[in-house]
Structure 1
Amino acid sequence: MTIPQHPGDAATYAERVTQHVPALHDLHRMTGLLLAERVPASGRILVLGAGGGLELRALAERYPGWRFDGVDPSSVMLDQARETVGDLMDRVALHEGYIDDAPEGPFDGAVCLLTLHFLARDERLRTLCSLGRLLRSGAPLVVAHHSFPNDDAQSDLWLRRNADLLISRGVAPSQAEQGIETMKTRLPVLSPWEDEGVLREAGFGAVQLFFAAFTFKGWVGVRD
């Protein structure tokens, strides 16, 4: 999940991310269905960017035989994940850090939601390559994050649409406008075709777009 900028953000994370990401609960459900196409009933799943615990909770509820390792650099957000996962924590291990701090594989599948848009292309590629080395051959990876055309005209159009959606859901116009500036200046967003290229370069095949909701896109791929 996304990384909060200060501890106060963690307390309202679930509410904010549900408001900001269209069809978030459906995204979690689709993620599970895509993983389940290839992950065995007793599979082991790596969740990169697990802070907040929303996808961990959703997947653990629907797939009682799966075990999970969640990795996130924020101790505050990992505490929030523990609270969110609650009574299902017996099948979840949380690790503070980045992909290099993940436990040894092989994993049967992996998830990285609302995280990769924080990483510039080179670091994104390195992270995906490192993640791929932890997966068994044929294991699925599901990713979703901000991804939209990055030429000025198209970028402005999609950011405007994203802001208008937030305003329609009750976000203050000033906050939505600030979000546009934050995304333009602080997020190294790639275009959808660049995102797909990075996944393939990192060793994932059969890459398919499965989710598109304004500025958010999601892909599933398979470890070669």
Structure 2
Amino acid sequence: MQQHELDALFDQHAPGYDAQWARMAPIRESLHFLLETVFADLPADARLLCVGAGTGAEIAHLARRFPRWRFLALDPAPAMIEQCRARAARDGFADRCEFHAGLLDTLPHAEAFDGATCFLVSQFLLDPAERTALFAAIARRLRPGGMLAWADLAWDTTAGDYPAMLRLWMQAMSGAGLDDDALARIRGNYARDVAILPPDAVAALVASAGFDAPLRFHQAGMIHGWCARRR
């Protein structure tokens, strides 16, 4: 799937995105809970770059937990950024946020960030070189020693347990209100439009983009979360 097709898809689903995935909230919440510890040693007035911010779920969580942090929400889908902006206004932290609809390379150069998030974004880059380039671009935006936390779908799709894991994951998502047609589309998308790599391969790819050896701090089903410091 091309970038403009992804942007259009997320624009289309933005108004109902949170409601559609409400049943999967425990996975998101566990990731956010551990994220507090990953970022615990950042400055009290830290600046965070949120790549693929979507509707702003992780920003909202971190804004509540760290009341002096400032955020830049970046997403290529304008409708997602508008949902993020609305959440920030509704929850009272909009004055600590900047919003940018576009890709990372369209972001003006500014003060380096103390930390960054990139949740369920890089898996859509099928070309390993493009995926590495995304993380290298994030590294360039971080101060030396700045912390990146990211999550992606990951599994060894050649392993004997992958069919069983995929069935389990489809069953988990079916409880999120997805019908049989939607699940069939997701299976097709995974095979065609999502770069599902073994977890160690994802970590190695990010390390090659200018980060120290990543630490895998979270797993729930096929979603894995890592953190790594910029070298």
TM-score, normalised relative to structure 2: 0.88
Distance in 1 of aligned mates of 2:129 and 2:154: 16
Distance in 2 of aligned mates of 1:32 and 1:164: 29
Q: How far did 1:177 drift?
A: 3.0
Counterparts in 2 of 1:151 and 1:143: CA distance versus 1, 3 Å: same
Distance in 1 of aligned mates of 2:219 and 2:33: 15
Q: How far did 1:153 drift?
A: 4.5
Q: Does structure 1 conserve the Cα–Cα contact (< 8 Å) formed by 2:213 and 2:228?
A: yes
> Unaligned 5+ residue runs, structure 1?
none
Distance in 2 of aligned mates of 1:3 and 1:17: 18
Q: Which of 14, 25, 29 in structure 2 is aligned with 1:10?
A: 14
The letter of the residue matching 2:70 is: R
The letter of the residue matching 1:132 is: A
Counterparts in 2 of 1:174 and 1:147: CA distance versus 1, 3 Å: same
Corresponding residue SS for 1:203: coil
Counterparts in 2 of 1:169 and 1:99: CA distance versus 1, 3 Å: closer
Aligned residues: 222
Tell me what 2:130 maps to.
123
| Residue 31 of structure 2 corresponds to residue 27 of structure 1 | yes
- The Cα RMSD (Å) is 2.0
> Unaligned 5+ residue runs, structure 2?
1-5
Of the structure 1 ranges 28-37 and 87-96, higher mean CA displacement relative to structure 2 is found in 28-37
The letter of the residue matching 1:193 is: D
Distance in 1 of aligned mates of 2:11 and 2:213: 39
Distance in 2 of aligned mates of 1:164 and 1:136: 41
Tell me what 1:96 maps to.
101
The share of aligned pairs that are identical, in percent, is 28
Summarize deviations over 1:178-220 as a string: whole Å, max 9, x none. Answer: 3112211111222211101011101111411111111110001
Distance in 1 of aligned mates of 2:141 and 2:65: 24
Q: Does structure 1 conserve the Cα–Cα contact (< 8 Å) formed by 2:22 and 2:176?
A: no
Q: How far did 1:4 drift?
A: 6.2
Q: Which of 155, 171, 188 in structure 2 is aligned with 1:148?
A: 155
Counterparts in 2 of 1:18 and 1:144: CA distance versus 1, 3 Å: farther
User: Which 4+ runs in 1 deviate beyond 6 A?
Assistant: none
Q: Does structure 1 conserve the Cα–Cα contact (< 8 Å) formed by 2:20 and 2:177?
A: no
Q: How far did 1:141 drift?
A: 0.5
The letter of the residue matching 1:106 is: A
Distance in 2 of aligned mates of 1:163 and 1:33: 30
Q: Which of 184, 197, 202 in structure 2 is aligned with 1:190?
A: 197
Q: Does structure 1 conserve the Cα–Cα contact (< 8 Å) formed by 2:10 and 2:80?
A: no
TM-score, normalised relative to structure 1: 0.91
